[in-house]
Amino acid sequence: MIYMKGVPEFPQCGFSSLAVRVLKHYNVPLSARNILEDPELKAAVKSYSHWPTFPQIFIQGEFIGGSDIIMNMHQSGELKEKLKDIAANRDKTA
Amino acid sequence: MASSATSSLSLRFFFTKKLSAFTSPSSFPSPRALFLSPSRPFSISFQRIQPTTKSSASSPPSTGTSASLQPIEELPPNLQQIVALFQSVPDPKSKYQQLLFYGKNLNPLDPRFKTRENKVEGCVSQVWVRAYLDPGKNVVFEADSDSVLTKGLAALLVQGLSGSPVDKIIRVSPDFITLLGLQQSLTPSRNNGFLNMLRLMQKKALLLLSEGENGGTESKSDTGADGSPVSEPKFDVGSDKSSVLEAEKDEIQVNSDVGTNGSAVAESKASTSGAGTEASSGLGSRGQRIKEILEREFSPTVLELEDISYQHAGHAGARGSDGETHFNLRVVSKEFEGKSLVKRHRLVYDLLKEELQNGLHALSIVAKTPSEV
């Protein structure tokens, strides 16, 4: 799940766009919420994760980080590992 | 609704075949909602190749130009046509597709022109722009990019500005970008990149001029209607190109923050030229504060802070502030040992909580331990 600025088809922020691009690279379902549409949501997510900026990426309910961290994990292979299980489960139930 | 394939085909027809001006709305069937129809009451021709004379653009577009925006007539004719085309297409998705269509038709740039000097700063993708003078002393632009969308934006500018004389080009204010109505389809950084493309093209045009006239630019600057070229030759003449771009960039980006009011551009440019050179030499007060806080808490071995706010001028978060909204941070410290990336970033964010509430908008953080470097 990604809380982002804009929507995956039309990101309204370079960082959000980057995060979407990285996540789309993997074969996992991606849900997105446009926090620009809803200031309450924006404030709520910020205080939930103690994270002041967007985008914010959650994997299976766990807060992972922002676009820097996702990019980092993608480059180090950590992201692949994390998402591997999800992709496997998805294929099983599909 | 026509599919995108046919739509781009039809648009191509409009460009290559219809050479006569559409003089009156009555010559068309009733205005249809279909976005391809040129049935809006424009008296502008859709010629692609030859620039049309100014008189063909006498009627302003239906959205109207408010007093504060640069009048559309002052734009180079090719650009006027493009603006008109985008305005006749109200649906954002179609505008987007039109943009992609431009991009597909952009001629690739010879690789030897893909230099640093030709690179547009502040764009997520890579965009290069090249300018040269044709025998008629008009500027011709060429551009290329590795992303289809930015190719479209570049192509739009190339088409809109090529074939026009230098003074027309440098007098183009970015206001026309709003007229295109693309802003909701583009991310702020794309919008910003677009702005930077325009700036770079204008700069190159001016450089061509000063090269061609060999320093006799003082007289030329007098002809500038809004006085904005006045400050530019002073920077360009006799200084290193790349540092000129840096200094100009800070100045210009602060400029665009101040507002899109065309008449204000001249004053603010003159008044911020001093501030611009300041900003380019070091960090402003927020940057200093951030550095101090981080130094105090982390005793870092490496601390690099870069103000990249200029890349985000026009961004929703940066509007209304004087820069110092976006930073790149690289910090190496033992304090990060044993902590996950998220924890490290959180640490930094927590320390800078006040700044974040006061206008600091984004931080790109690289946080490493000494052993990781």
- A39 DSSP β-pair partners: none
The H or E element that residue B136 is part of is none
pTM comes to 0.40
pLDDT of residue B154: 87
pLDDT of residue B285: 83
pLDDT of residue B34: 39
Residue A3 sits at the chain B interface (C-beta within 8 Å): no
pLDDT of residue B70: 65
Closest partner residue to A13 among B184, B189, B363, by Cβ?
B189
Closest partner residue to B187 among A6, A68, A72, by Cβ?
A6
Q: What 3-state DSSP class applies to B176?
A: helix
Separation CA B217–CA B246 (nearest Å): 21
pLDDT digits (tens, 9 = 90+) for B250-265: 444 333 333 334 333 3
Q: Do A64 and B342 touch (CB under 8 A)?
A: yes
The H or E element that residue B338 is part of is none
Cα distances (angstroms) measured from residue A25 to each of A28, A74, A91, B20, B331: 9, 9, 16, 48, 29
ipTM, 2 dp: 0.78
Q: Where are the alpha helices (DSSP H) in chain A?
A: 14-24, 39-49, 67-76, 78-93
Band the pLDDT of B319: cuts 50, 70, 90.
Answer: low
Q: Which fold has domain A2-93?
A: Glutaredoxin (3.40.30)
Q: Per-residue pLDDT for A77 more than 50? A: yes
Q: Name the more confident of B118 and B259.
A: B118
Rounded to an integer, the average pLDDT of B282-303 is 86
Separation CA B87–CA B96 (nearest Å): 12
Percent of chain B with pLDDT over 90: 0
CB atoms near residue B367 (< 10 Å):
24
Is the separation of the CB atoms in A30 and A8 below 8 Å? yes
Q: Where are the alpha helices (DSSP H) in B299-334?
A: none
Sort out which chain B residues have CB atoms less than 8 A from A11's CB and list them: 187
Sort out which chain A residues have CB atoms less than 8 A from B315's CB and list them: 13
Q: Per-residue pLDDT for B243 more than 50? A: no
Among A21-30, A69-78, B60-69, B103-112, whose mean pLDDT is lowest? B60-69
Q: Name the more confident of B366 and B239.
A: B366
Closest partner residue to A53 among B190, B315, B363, by Cβ?
B363
Asked if omega into A55 is within 30° of 0 (cis), the reply is yes
Q: Do B366 and A68 touch (CB under 8 A)?
A: yes
Separation CA B203–CA B244 (nearest Å): 10
Q: Which two tokens stand for residue B169?
A: 């080009």
Q: Which of B123, B153, B172, B208 is catalytic?
A: B123
Sort out which chain B residues have CB atoms less than 8 A from A52's CB and list them: 349, 353, 356
Mutate to test the interface with A, among B123, B126, B185, B189 (most CBs of A within 10 A): B189
Domain made up of B72-212: CATH architecture:
Alpha-Beta Complex (3.90)
Band the pLDDT of B28: cuts 50, 70, 90.
Answer: very low
Burial A26-35 (b: 16+ CB within 10 A, else e): eebeeebbbb
Q: What 3-state DSSP class applies to B294?
A: helix
Mutate to test the interface with A, among B91, B185, B195, B341 (most CBs of A within 10 A): B341
Q: Do A14 and B187 touch (CB under 8 A)?
A: yes
Q: Per-residue pLDDT for A68 more than 60? A: yes
Band the pLDDT of B228: cuts 50, 70, 90.
Answer: very low
Band the pLDDT of A24: cuts 50, 70, 90.
Answer: confident
Q: Which fold has domain B285-368?
A: GMP Synthetase; Chain A, domain 3 (3.30.300)
Band the pLDDT of B282: cuts 50, 70, 90.
Answer: low
Residue B124 sits at the chain A interface (C-beta within 8 Å): yes
In sequence order, what DSSP letters do the residues of A24-40 get, joined into one string? HTSSS---EEETTS-HH
Distance from CA of A27 to the nearest CA of B (A): 23
- A2 DSSP β-pair partners: A32, A57
Separation CA B280–CA B310 (nearest Å): 11
Rounded to an integer, the average pLDDT of B203-209 is 82
Rounded to an integer, the average pLDDT of B300-310 is 85
Is the separation of the CB atoms in B280 and B302 below 8 Å? no
Residue A36 sits at the chain B interface (C-beta within 8 Å): yes
φ/ψ of B221, rounded to 5, equals -65, -25
Rounded to an integer, the average pLDDT of B13-20 is 42
Cα distances (angstroms) measured from residue A14 to each of A57, B44, B272, B363: 15, 36, 27, 13
Q: Per-residue pLDDT for A85 more than 60? A: yes
Q: Do B189 and A16 touch (CB under 8 A)?
A: no
Is the separation of the CB atoms in B33 and B52 below 8 Å? no
CA terminus-to-terminus distance, chain A: 19
Q: Is B37 exposed, middle or buried (0-12, 13-18, 19+ CB in 10 A)?
A: middle
Among B96-105, B125-134, B150-159, B238-247, whose mean pLDDT is lowest? B238-247
The H or E element that residue B160 is part of is helix B148-161
To which residue do tokens 């001093």 refer?
B274
Domain ranges of chain B: 72-212, 285-368
Among B103-117, B208-222, B306-320, the range with the most confident prediction by mean pLDDT is B103-117
Q: Per-residue pLDDT for A40 more than 60? A: yes
Band the pLDDT of B128: cuts 50, 70, 90.
Answer: confident
- Nearest residue on chain B to A62, judged by CA atoms? B342
Instruction: Judge whether B123 counts as a catalytic residue.
Output: yes
Q: Name the more confident of B186 and B222.
A: B186
Separation CA B156–CA B96 (nearest Å): 12
Cα distances (angstroms) measured from residue A52 to each of A42, A57, B284, B318: 10, 13, 22, 15
Rounded to an integer, the average pLDDT of B73-80 is 79
Closest partner residue to A12 among B188, B356, B363, by Cβ?
B188
Q: Do A14 and B189 touch (CB under 8 A)?
A: yes
